[in-house]
Amino acid sequence: MSSTKHVVLITGANRGIGKEIARQLAGKDWQVIVAARDHSKAVQTAQEIGSDSFGLQFDVQDEKSIQKAAILVEEKFKRLDVLVNNAAIGDDDNILKVELERIMQVLDTNLMGSIRTSKYFLPLLKKSDDARIINISSDLGSWTTLKNGGYGAYRLSKVGLNAFTIMMASELERTNVKVFSMSPGWVRTDMGGKNAPRSVEKGAETAVWLATESKVVSGNFYKDKKVIDW
């Protein structure tokens, strides 16, 4: 089938910020694709959200599973209007204390996962009249915060994700695809913890705005619906 609704795919959408982005866009009558590593969790979350949301299984670390998912989305929806690269894992040690294997795991999920997913869904995004790629980054990935220490592997992955955003936005400048990074802030999720100052609704707000607002500029880093410094 070809959806007359705007079609959005969100990775890591079975919980936290990703789930809330999905919920808010479903409330705006978007066709939401809930992507997660666990198929049952993807389907369950889609059922919870309702509005014909669709649960899709793939692992951002597994190139073949992304390829298969892209084929399935093309068969079912014909195009993609928005991709939200949200799937991520974290750490809290200084960069020289993190085990090398853990650094590789974090980079493979947070950075390479976003690159893989963007690569294989880009042809579907190019079929949209107004496509967007929204990379969920972090204040911790800003150059201005790197000297603060801690969260070494996570910071490194988000610096890389921001660089990828700039590069991709430049290469897609003459196409219909806009690319953004955004920081949700410190949000009360499984990763952020219960002491975080921001609600999950607030954390999702800017992503929903970037998906729906007409006058947003590609290649920028956003927080609270405003451009911030890299």
**Any idea what the CATH number is for the domain that residue 109 is in?**
3.40.50.720
Residues 11, 17, 23, CA angle at the centre, nearest 5°?
Answer: 85
Q: Is residue 2 part of a domain?
A: no
Q: Is residue 1 assigned to a domain?
A: no
Region of 52 please: left (phi>0), alpha (psi -120 to 50) or beta: left
Structure tokens at 49: 């959200």
As a residue count, the chain comes to: 230
Q: Please state the pTM of the whole predicted model.
A: 0.96
Beta carbons of 216 and 169 less than 8 angstroms apart: no
Number of domains making up the chain: 1
Nearest-10 crossing angle of helices 63-77, 113-125: 20
What span, in angstroms and rounded, lies between the C-alpha atoms of 202 and 228? 17
Establish if 36 belongs to a structural domain. Answer: yes
Owning domain of residue 196: 7-228
* pLDDT for position 3: 62
- Would you say residue 80 lies in a domain? yes
Beta bridge partners of 222: 182, 227
Please report the pLDDT score of residue 2 as a whole number.
54
44 belongs to a structural domain: yes
Beta carbons of 121 and 143 less than 8 angstroms apart: no
Residues in the chain with pLDDT values less than 70:
1-3
Residue 224 falls within a domain, yes or no? yes
Residues classed as catalytic: 154
